[in-house]
Amino acid sequence: MVNFHIKQQMRVSLKSGQVTFDVGANLRLMPRLNERDPDTFFTLFERIADAKNWPDADKTLMLQCVLTGRAQDAYSALSASDCRSYAKVKSAVLKAFELVPEAYSQRFRNWGKSDRQTNVEFARDLLSHFNRWCSAASVESFEGLCELMVLEQFKNSIPQRIATYVSEQKVTTVHRAAELADDFVLTHNSGFGEVRVASELRRTSNNYGSSRYGGQSSIVGPAHTFKASRVRDDGGRSGLCHYCHGAGHWKDQCPVLRSGNKRKSYPTAPAPALSCSSAQGPVPECGDFEPFIVNAVVSLVGSEERVPIKFLRDTGAKHSFILGSVLPFSPATETREFILMRGMEMGLVPVLLHSMMLDCDLVQGVVAVGVRPALPVDGVALILGNDLAGSAVWASLPPSPVVTPKLLVTVGPDECGRKYPHVFPSCAVTRAQLLGLLQTWLLVESKR
């Protein structure tokens, strides 16, 4: 089919009296199409075409001689008029290999250095991917480059679901992307949950900051603002139902809506979900937890002031928490990270992590714990969770035995065999072995 088109165009040029385009001679100059890197092919092809001053008609004529596979399918799907336009042919071929501006952006962001590459080669690859990204995005000025960088940062800062929608609209300016993002949020009605979670974050941080840092919030700041935005679900949807206002499901999964609009009588948003004040109810005493309460010593990193405390070893706690009044915690002790604490009410509370020194029978050294203004157990200054203690509960007891599917073969007797050799003799013979030895002895005696 390709040869037929070439011969037909050559006949037309001969009949019209024009100078014929020597396809056979120029075909030797054509680079080979590499489907793994079609950009390099088009770069080499355009250099040859510019050197030979080929018009668009001759460019497309030469392209169809070397296109194969998906590139040939993309070319054959074009109309007769589009086949004469080199720009449309190139765009169709690159789209067939998914080489659109977003693909160039991801390739530039995720490109890594291989073991066989030198740093110079790696830098050259990065520069090549960046130039191809800018070229595909039609960046021709410094203002366009700034717009591209800000747009990329904007899409990385919003939820993934909204960023995908913005990318599908093929926007080129940040202002237009922001308008589309706002329209998406309003259309999908996700602003209520996000505003509620953000307000709870601010309220919790301000309550803690007023008691420890003189009224300044400990979560305010660029480092924590970005992480706090991840509290809501990745996808632009909050974790609250917009029908019953309950947490843990969305409106399309609401059990109240499915049960025939019979709302439950209990409150849907209990206040204790984001508060640890001791005035909310009776605080448990230490009597029930007495076997698990142990003495310890805590201090700040680099400080000589050591404070003796009592801590509760809680095997049901994933993280560890300490009272904020035990040590003079400050922004200097922050690890710039926080954890999400979840209780029986299934609410999420962001808790800042601070570094300190812990010296007890279970843990020794520098640890990162969450700091809270109050703890649910009275008389305890630290709750030691599984993140620090692991599987250990008491220091006086050995760790729990570990069952392994593989047989552990030991060389020589074990500890019991060494202490009590008369109880565990190494010369013990089983009945099966004794029977085998007896049969061997009888066989030897019969041959004599």
Residue-wise pLDDT for 108-117, tens only, equals: 878 788 888 8
- pLDDT for 163 equals 86
* 40-44, 87-91, 424-428: least confident range: 424-428
pLDDT tier for residue 286 given thresholds of 50, 70 and 90: low
Residue-wise pLDDT for 393-442, tens only, equals: 766 666 566 677 777 666 677 777 778 877 766 666 677 777 887 888 88
Cα three-residue angle 275-277-281, rounded to 5 degrees: 105
Query: Is there a contact between 326 and 340 (Cβ–Cβ < 8 Å)?
Result: no
Q: What residue segments make up the domains of the chain, in order of their start?
A: 2-99, 191-254, 290-389
Residue 382 has pLDDT above 70, yes or no: yes
Average pLDDT over residues 332-360: 84
Residue 59 has pLDDT above 70, yes or no: yes
Residue-wise pLDDT for 127-176, tens only, equals: 877 877 787 777 888 888 888 888 888 988 888 888 888 888 888 888 89
Query: How far apart (Å, rounded) are the C-alpha atoms in residues 79 and 90?
Result: 14
Closest by CA position to 243, among listed 235, 231, 254:
254
Instruction: Please spell the DSSP secondary structure of 107-131, one letter per residue.
Output: HHHH----TT--HHHHHHHHHHHHH
pLDDT tier for residue 322 given thresholds of 50, 70 and 90: very high
Query: How far apart (Å, rounded) are the C-alpha atoms in residues 93 and 237?
Result: 37
pLDDT tier for residue 5 given thresholds of 50, 70 and 90: low
Query: Is there a contact between 39 and 49 (Cβ–Cβ < 8 Å)?
Result: no
- pLDDT for 217 equals 37
Residue 324 has pLDDT above 50, yes or no: yes
Residue-wise pLDDT for 186-240, tens only, equals: 887 644 444 444 444 445 444 444 443 333 333 333 334 334 344 344 444 455 6
- pLDDT for 247 equals 65
Residue 325 has pLDDT above 60, yes or no: yes
Residue 14 has pLDDT above 50, yes or no: no
Average pLDDT over residues 2-21: 52
Classified as helix, coil or strand, 44 is helix
Average pLDDT over residues 286-304: 80
Right CATH for 290-389 from 3.30.70.360, 3.30.420.480, 2.40.70.10, 3.30.390.50: 2.40.70.10
Residue-wise pLDDT for 269-284, tens only, equals: 443 333 344 444 444 4
Q: Alpha helices of 213-253 — where are they, by DSSP H?
A: 222-228
Residue 6 has pLDDT above 80, yes or no: no
Average pLDDT over residues 61-68: 81
Query: Is there a contact between 383 and 333 (Cβ–Cβ < 8 Å)?
Result: no
Specify the pairing of strand 348-359 against strand 293-299: antiparallel
The whole-chain average pLDDT of the chain stands at 73
Query: How far apart (Å, rounded) are the C-alpha atoms in residues 64 and 92?
Result: 13
- Looking at per-residue confidence, does 429 or 93 come out higher? 93
Closest by CA position to 382, among listed 391, 393, 374:
374
Average pLDDT over residues 92-108: 74
Residue 46 has pLDDT above 80, yes or no: yes
Specify the pairing of strand 321-323 against strand 364-372: parallel
| Most confident of the ranges 8-12, 20-24, 381-385, 397-401 | 381-385
Torsion angle (degrees, nearest 10) of CA 307, 312, 318, 319? -20
Query: How far apart (Å, rounded) are the C-alpha atoms in residues 382 and 360?
Result: 11
What letter does residue 291 receive in the DSSP assignment? G
Residue 261 has pLDDT above 60, yes or no: no
Residue-wise pLDDT for 365-380, tens only, equals: 889 999 988 888 888 8
How many percent of the chain have pLDDT more than 70?
68
Query: Is there a contact between 26 and 51 (Cβ–Cβ < 8 Å)?
Result: no
Helix (H) or strand (E) holding 353: strand 348-359
